Amino acid sequence: MPETLRILCIVCPRGCALEVDVGGAPGNQVLAVRGNACRRGEEYGRREAIDPRRSLTSTVRAAGLSRRRLSVRSSSDLPLGRLVDAARALDPVVVTGPVKLGEVVVRDILGLRVDIVATDDIGA
Amino acid sequence: MLKRKDYDVIVLGGGPAGLAAAIAASESGASVGLVEREDRLGGILKQCVHDGFGLVRFGERLSGPEYALRYIDLAKRRSMEIHLETFVHAAREERVPPEGRRIVLECVSGAEGVYEAAAQALVLATGCRERTDRQVFINGDRPAGIFMAGLAQRLVNIEGLLPGRRAVILGSGDIGLIMARRLTLEGMDVEGIYEIKPEPSGLSRNIRQCVEDFGIPLHLSTTITEVHGSRRVESVTAAEVDARCSVRVGSERLVDCDTLVLSVGLIPENEIARSLGLSLDPATRGPRVDQVGRSEIEGVYVCGNALHVNDLVDYVSESGEAAGAAAAAFARGGRERDGAGAGLGGLPLEAGPGFLYAVPQTIDLSRRGKAVVYFRSDSTIKDGARVTIKAGGATLIDRHYAALRPPEMERLELDVASIPADADSVLLVLERKEPSRA
């Protein structure tokens, strides 16, 4: 029996109320997405029903530089269930030299094949 | 005699509104001075490390610092003078015989001491401030451990300090929701979010990705009535409220926490506007302006969150651009210098029942092109609404909305040329759709 999930799209501030039909064999499959205003909404609905993912944004410590923190983000979305673990893994990270926007700060965090990159410049 | 710096246009505030205004003014050929009190440009975006900025403008999901850097890079490529760590404590108009006038700012900086900056036109991009614990009614003590959400955000993201171990959040504004997630990710225990109203104040997407994703309880129609603690917050009293926001007797309970985070609203910051004598619209708490941000005083423009608290930075940049370009045109003695004159000209834009407010307050018909109108409804409408803009008997815009929510600002583009010549005002009308009967 197909099941309909009601999912709020968080891709943009418009916040479409999606209806995602899930069912079929083997396992769960997305059969249809309704209520989306754009293609990205459909993609979000498909993924959210099966494998919810989120971007991680945070900061890491900066030592001997012009500021105390450097803002960072995940290079792509992480599994929602690993978000807190990934944030914890950033606790001991320290940058000690100048970094440019987009530079990799942590490669392949927790083996999830996602990098942590700088979202700001920081100088000496 | 105080040292004086002269410009065509001075932009006060180096956040997203001020950056956009300064870039636009410079691109229009004006000499520009950009004044910022902090040691870096970017304003509040510097500490907004979360993403979701720029979706409207760039079609990308940028973090605050990334969004700011795009504009900072543009600003640095222009020949404007940027004054960092410079505080402006007053502004005044100065007559320049025979008929000229200038706006003079009294500035202080560590590098240059006390000096004046003067310009033909001033753009106020001073942003907004958080409402504090003195501006909401909470009984009890005021020990350490009470933080406004934006202050907590600054401590965590800029200073690298965690405000405490176990937090209660009062108010469900977006910054409070963002901080619920942020504090959780940094290892604090967020006990819950308490909202006095029956519905959340923040964007739905933030309820989803900042609250529900982390299983943080959101208590609606519930508030914090009292703070307990001698040196540090030890607990707060939470209580349910009825439809009139009165506490339900017997619903009070004690919640252990060492941190109370307040996300109870933002107020446009307009001390410099007031020192110039600008009056504030009670609905927006910002100065009254036309569609390019021109205020009641000739040569003074206002943009961004100083005008009204926006929901998205994309619109802050948009209003900064309009104000910066208009200020430059005025300073360089363009068409506007003759047309605008004293006072706030143009047709009044009147928002009817059902609106929290609409911006701008007037439409100047001598400025051709599109006028962007921003509005918010004063309550949540779930069953559909129709918003029309009418002038002189004609309907200029007719727009249907599936839903309207006060936290979500709406934007309409009005073609100024479509306003009939005999119109004496422009009306914004909201009609609710009758709920369909099944």
Report d(CA A57, CA B185) in Å as an integer.
9
pLDDT band at A67 (very low <50, low <70, confident <90, very high): very high
Domain membership of residue A17 (yes or no) is: yes
pLDDT at A25: 66
Report d(CA B117, CA B33) in Å as an integer.
8
**Which of helix, strand or coil describes residue B148?**
strand
Report d(CA B118, CA B129) in Å as an integer.
26
Q: Does A82 contact B at CB distance below 8 Å?
A: no
Q: pLDDT for B133-146, tens place per residue?
A: 888 888 888 999 99
Statement to judge: residues A62 and A112 lie in one domain: yes
How many Å lie between the alpha carbon of A51 and the closest alpha carbon of chain B?
13
Report d(CA B110, CA B108) in Å as an integer.
7
Instruction: Return contacts of A14-21, CB within 8 angstroms, 24+ apart.
Output: A15/B203, A15/B204, A15/B205, A16/A41, A18/A44, A18/A45, A18/A48, A20/A45, A20/A46, A20/A48, A20/A49
Q: What is the mean pLDDT of residues B406-410?
A: 89
Statement to judge: residues A62 and A38 lie in one domain: no
The DSSP bridge partners found for residue A18 are: A7
Q: Does B186 contact A at CB distance below 8 Å?
A: yes
Statement to judge: residues A21 and A44 lie in one domain: yes
| Tokens (6 digits) for B82 | 């940027």
Q: Does A121 contact B at CB distance below 8 Å?
A: yes
Pairing of strands B370-377, B394-401: unpaired
Q: What is the mean pLDDT of residues B163-179?
A: 96
Whether B259 shows a pLDDT value over 50: the answer reads yes
pLDDT band at B338 (very low <50, low <70, confident <90, very high): very low
What is the pTM (predicted TM-score) of this model?
A: 0.93
Residues of A in contact with B185 (CB under 8 A): 56, 58, 83-84, 87
Q: What is the mean pLDDT of residues B262-267?
A: 94
Statement to judge: residues A112 and A65 lie in one domain: yes
Statement to judge: residues A64 and A92 lie in one domain: yes
Contact yes or no for B158/B182 (Cβ under 8 A): no
Q: What is the mean pLDDT of residues B232-256?
A: 96
Statement to judge: residues A46 and A18 lie in one domain: yes
- Contact map slice: B 236-295 vs A, CB within 8 A: none
Instruction: From residue B208, give the alpha-carbon distance in Å to each of A9, A118, B17, B213, B425.
Output: 9, 25, 28, 6, 41
CB–CB contact B184 A12 (8 Å): no
Statement to judge: residues A102 and A65 lie in one domain: yes
User: Which of B39, B48, B57, B66 to mutate to test binding with chain A, by most A CBs within 10 Å of its CB?
Assistant: B66
Q: pLDDT for B192-207, tens place per residue?
A: 999 999 999 888 889 9
Instruction: From residue A17, give the alpha-carbon distance in Å to each of A36, A44, B54.
Output: 7, 12, 22
Report d(CA B420, CA B415) in Å as an integer.
11
Looking at residue B305, the DSSP 8-state letter turns out to be G
- Mean residue pLDDT of chain B comes to 93
Domain membership of residue A28 (yes or no) is: yes
Pairing of strands B370-377, B355-359: antiparallel
**Burial bucket for residue A97 (CB in 10 Å: 0-12, 13-18, 19+):** exposed
Q: What is the mean pLDDT of residues B61-87?
A: 96
Q: Which domains does chain B have, with CATH numbers?
A: 1-129+266-344 (3.50.50.60), 132-264 (3.50.50.60), 346-438 (2.60.40)
Write down the ipTM of this complex.
Answer: 0.92
Statement to judge: residues A66 and A112 lie in one domain: yes
Domain membership of residue A66 (yes or no) is: yes
Statement to judge: residues A63 and A109 lie in one domain: yes
Whether B335 shows a pLDDT value over 60: the answer reads no
pLDDT at B336: 53
Q: pLDDT for B24-67, tens place per residue?
A: 999 999 999 999 999 999 999 999 999 999 988 998 899 999 99
Q: pLDDT for A22-54, tens place per residue?
A: 887 666 788 889 999 899 999 999 999 989 999
Q: Give the CATH number of the domain where residue A105 resides.
A: 3.10.530.10
Work out how many domains chain A is built from and give that number: 2
Domain membership of residue A105 (yes or no) is: yes
Pairing of strands B222-228, B235-240: antiparallel
Q: pLDDT for B361-375, tens place per residue?
A: 999 998 889 999 999
Statement to judge: residues A37 and A63 lie in one domain: no
Statement to judge: residues A47 and A61 lie in one domain: no
Report d(CA B275, CA B272) in Å as an integer.
5
Report d(CA B368, CA B363) in Å as an integer.
10
pLDDT at A14: 77
pLDDT at A74: 98
Count of CB atoms within 10 A of residue A109's CB?
22
Statement to judge: residues A102 and A88 lie in one domain: yes
Q: Does B97 contact A at CB distance below 8 Å?
A: no
Q: Which residue among A57, A91, A120 sits closest to B50, beta carbon to beta carbon?
A: A57
Domain membership of residue A67 (yes or no) is: yes
pLDDT at B438: 46
Domain membership of residue A109 (yes or no) is: yes
Residues of B in contact with A77 (CB under 8 A): none
Residue A91 structural domain = 57-118
pLDDT band at A11 (very low <50, low <70, confident <90, very high): confident
User: Which of A66, A69, A70 to mutate to test binding with chain B, by most B CBs within 10 Å of its CB?
Assistant: A69
Domain membership of residue A123 (yes or no) is: no
Report d(CA B10, CA B86) in Å as an integer.
13
Q: What is the mean pLDDT of residues A94-114?
A: 98
pLDDT band at B337 (very low <50, low <70, confident <90, very high): low
Q: What is the mean pLDDT of residues B72-94?
A: 95
User: Which of A7, A71, A76 to mutate to test binding with chain B, by most B CBs within 10 Å of its CB?
Assistant: A71
| Tokens (6 digits) for B273 | 């506007």
Report d(CA B76, CA B41) in Å as an integer.
10
Q: pLDDT for A72-83, tens place per residue?
A: 999 999 999 999
Looking at residue B138, the DSSP 8-state letter turns out to be -
Residue pairs spanning A and B at CB distance below 8 A: 76
